[in-house]
Amino acid sequence: MARPSKSIELVEGHRTKAEIEKRQQAEKALLTNVEMKEWPTTKADPVAHNHFLRISELFKAIEKNDALSEPTFNRYCLMLSECEGYEVRDKKLKVIIDDLERRWQGEMEYAEYIKMVINLNKQIQTNDRLLMSKRRLLLSIEKESLMTLASQLRSIPKKEDEDYKLDPMYQLLNT
């Protein structure tokens, strides 16, 4: 698999002024110059809101805070918040199991205690399954976002058009 192109600011080595100018223009053409906005649902959720502000600032720093990325990052932040909710529920269920363990000896029958623990463990497993599916979706969004940015950079020509005409392989294939 070919490595994605780097942004012109990250490219090391000698480049002609014409190549640098052409790549800078191509990179600028990929942006709408409209800053991404936070959705009302994202803003209403404190956890999602904090994540959005952080991501927005990071993308501003690399000059990629663009409206085309808005839906992806709003959904991503909402899903991060949902994951935190599942983690909180998981901790609460574990506290309930610990509390039952302390109380079962004098207050309830052993069989009743076992049924309650089994039900709570089922809830924990269900919660874990939901959390894992959300995490898989988060990872997919992260990969897609990276690939989207990389594919944008990959579409930037690395060489000037005239350089291809001088390339022996180009000449061989076009004869």
Domain regions of the chain by residue span: 32-156
Q: What CA–CA distances, in Å, run from 98 to 55, 93, 105, 119?
A: 37, 9, 13, 14
Q: Higher model confidence: residue 112 or residue 172?
A: 112
**pLDDT the model gives residue 162:** 58
29-71: pLDDT as tens digits = 777 888 999 999 999 999 999 999 999 998 888 777 888 889 9
Instruction: Check: CB of residue 69 under 8 Å from CB of residue 59.
Output: yes
**End-to-end distance of the chain based on CA atoms, in angstroms?**
28
Average pLDDT score, the chain: 81
| pLDDT at 78 > cutoff 70 | yes
| pLDDT at 161 > cutoff 80 | no
**pLDDT the model gives residue 62:** 74
| pLDDT at 169 > cutoff 50 | yes
| pLDDT at 150 > cutoff 90 | no
Q: In whole angstroms, what is the distance from residue 61 CA to residue 63 CA?
A: 6
* DSSP per position, 129-173: HHHHHHHHHHHHHHHHHHHHHHHHHHTS-SS-HHHHHH-HHHHHH
* DSSP per position, 86-138: HHHHHHHHHHHHHHHHHHHHHHS-HHHHHHHHHHHHHHHHHHHHHHHHHHHHH
54-64: pLDDT as tens digits = 999 988 887 77
| pLDDT at 82 > cutoff 70 | yes
Q: The whole model's pTM is what?
A: 0.67
**pLDDT the model gives residue 147:** 40
Of the candidates 50, 7, 56, 51, the residue with the CA atom closest to the CA atom of residue 28: 7
**pLDDT the model gives residue 160:** 54
